[in-house]
Amino acid sequence: MAQSAFEIDLQTRNDLAIFPKYVNEHSVMALFSKVGTIGGREKLDEIFKTPLTDAAEIEQRVDAIKYLRDADTGFKIDKRDCDYIEFYLKQLPKPVSISKMKAIEKKAMFFFTGDNDFCVISRGIENTLQLLNILYDFCSTANFDTLPKLLQSFNLTIRNTIEHADFIFIRALFGKEKLSAVEIAKADYLFRYLGYGRLKVLLDIVYQLDVFISVGASAKSNGFSFPVVNKTGEKVLKLQGLFHPFIKEPVPNDVAFHYDKNVCFVTGANMAGKSTFLKAVGVAVFLSQLGFPVPAAYMETSAFDGLITTINLADNIQSGNSHFYTEVSRVKHVAEKMTGSQNMLVIFDELFRGTNVKDAFDASLAITSAFSKLRQSFFIISTHIVEVANELSAIENISFRFMETVFDNGVPGYSYLLKDGITEERLGMWIVKNEGILEIIEEIIRGENW
């Protein structure tokens, strides 16, 4: 039975900067960009576009990446060889039969004229044989019983292919310095026609291994850890030492969700770090659904069916709708998505900032109260209206956290630490006064009256 598609939309991808919108822009995918081959880069893109929803599949990928990071397998992928193999396999026309006479004629033609087509085929076969030899050695030297389940399946596929009756003769060609014209013709017929599909499956495994090895190396260099996947059916999300990977010197934070506390309501002053924290949670959950390491010291999570965020919601000027209407439409969109599945993580940053305080208060209170009843999903909601938090305090499954502001001689500073409770700090007028805006205006008035 095929797994259901993970629910994530363009707004969420943009909020979390999953993919770069511009050249050299920060993105989550770029954190794992050390993939060597062209096929590996395409595989990485495919993985990022198709997060998993099955806990067992997520755990299998986690185990495979962790094993390749820690084990000295000796498996090395040559970027140029793999890229050239793909180029070779695309050559036309494909050989649909083997002719010994034509094979000898082609090699003779190459000897006298340097025929380019024969050169491409010869080099392509040489590189393909070398890759198959490396794959076969990788399988032969590995202790099958100690391999993670996903790598066991790779191992079996590689062995079954290279030991298949159609492929069996090529093992005698491994390491051979010069191939005869007939051997070249037979190998070309196998690689580009008879065994083409099987060879493409092996290349797909190579590209997955390329991605996994790169991701494991990135986990080390970025200080990421591997998520622990909870397969009991219990809904859980626990993050310790969580940080945003784009911040140079991040302050780690802890947060946890479960059935009895499925809503986290975050308050805090402007610039205290609420949005960055919300994004960090979203990034960690997204990466965990890929089976990738996450920016946290520890993470335990169940599998989600989707992730929806509303953090950097842009105005749609062409539609003629107000920002508040855009916000309401977004909340409606989230609610409609949850009719299909309630096993989701939903993140709202500063609900209803596009309207007056009274409407924002009423709408935030009503929407948060309603969502809190959907106990199979987890919610993180931040607001600048502290009074909403006070009104929600009687709802037992809501946990209240705030981003701390520290004052030094009346001047605010930010610890970026998430603490328990509700903050009453408001810095809007302090910032206005500190910028001297009123003094500038008064100076203009005095100038006009002079």
Predicted confidence (pLDDT) per residue in 363-419, tens digit: 999 999 999 999 999 999 998 788 899 999 999 999 999 998 887 776 778 899 999
Looking at the structure, tell me whether residues 338 and 216 fall in a common domain: no
CATH code for the domain in which residue 72 is found:
1.10.1420.10
Looking at the structure, tell me whether residues 232 and 205 fall in a common domain: no
How much is the pTM? 0.91
Looking at the structure, tell me whether residues 253 and 355 fall in a common domain: yes
The per-residue pLDDT for 25 is 77
Residue 352 is assigned to a structural domain of this protein: yes
pLDDT tens digit sequence for 88-141: 999 998 988 876 666 555 555 544 444 678 889 999 999 999 999 999 999 988
pLDDT-based confidence at residue 269 (cuts at 50, 70, 90): confident
What is the arithmetic mean of pLDDT over 298-321? 85
Residue 57 is assigned to a structural domain of this protein: yes
Residue 190 is assigned to a structural domain of this protein: yes
Three-state SS sequence of the chain: CCCCCCECCHHHHHHCCCCCCCCCCCCCHHHHCCCCCHHHHHHHHHHHHCCCCCHHHHHHHHHHHHHHHHCCCCCCCCHHHHHHHHHHHCCCCCCCCCCHHHHHHHHHHHHHHCCHHHHHHHHHHHHHHHHHHHHHHHHHHCCHHHCCHHHHHHHHHHHHHHCCCCCHHHHHHCCCCCCCHHHHHHHHHHHHHHCHHHHHHHHHHHHHHHHHHHHHHHHHHHCCECCEECCCCCCEEEEEEECCCCCCCCCCEEEEEECCECEEEEEECCCCCHHHHHHHHHHHHHHHHHCCCECCCEEEECCCCEEEEECCCCCCHHHCCCHHHHHHHHHHHHHHHCCCCCCEEEEECCCCCCCCHHHHHHHHHHHHHHHCCCCCCEEEEECCCHHHHHHHCCCCCEEEEEEEEEEECCEEEEEEEEEECCCCCCCHHHHHHHCCHHHHHHHHHHHHHC
> Quick check: 180 pLDDT over 50?
yes
The per-residue pLDDT for 432 is 61
Looking at the structure, tell me whether residues 289 and 400 fall in a common domain: yes
Domain boundary pick from 188, 222, 256 = 222
Domain boundary pick from 222, 242, 268 = 222
Residue 112 is assigned to a structural domain of this protein: yes
What is the arithmetic mean of pLDDT over 278-294? 98
Looking at the structure, tell me whether residues 268 and 282 fall in a common domain: yes
Domain enclosing residue 266, as ranges: 228-442
Looking at the structure, tell me whether residues 270 and 396 fall in a common domain: yes
| CA dist list (Å): 31 to 12, 35, 79, 218, 247 | 18, 10, 19, 7, 13
Poorest-confidence range of 30-44, 69-83, 205-219? 69-83
Looking at the structure, tell me whether residues 273 and 239 fall in a common domain: yes
CATH code for the domain in which residue 420 is found:
3.40.50.300
pLDDT tens digit sequence for 38-96: 999 999 999 999 999 999 999 999 999 999 999 877 788 888 999 999 999 999 989 88
Looking at the structure, tell me whether residues 83 and 212 fall in a common domain: yes
The per-residue pLDDT for 112 is 41
Calculate what percentage of the chain has a pLDDT beyond 70: 90
Residue 450 is assigned to a structural domain of this protein: no
Looking at the structure, tell me whether residues 130 and 203 fall in a common domain: yes
Looking at the structure, tell me whether residues 300 and 277 fall in a common domain: yes
| CA-based nearest residue to 287, from 91, 81, 44 | 44
Domain boundary pick from 222, 253, 269 = 222
What is the arithmetic mean of pLDDT over 231-245? 95
Looking at the structure, tell me whether residues 192 and 243 fall in a common domain: no
The per-residue pLDDT for 414 is 87
Residue 3 is assigned to a structural domain of this protein: no
The per-residue pLDDT for 141 is 86
**Any residues with CB less than 8 A from the CB of 400 and at least 6 apart, and which?**
265, 267, 389, 392, 393, 420, 421, 422
Domain total in the chain: 2
Looking at the structure, tell me whether residues 282 and 211 fall in a common domain: no
The per-residue pLDDT for 186 is 92
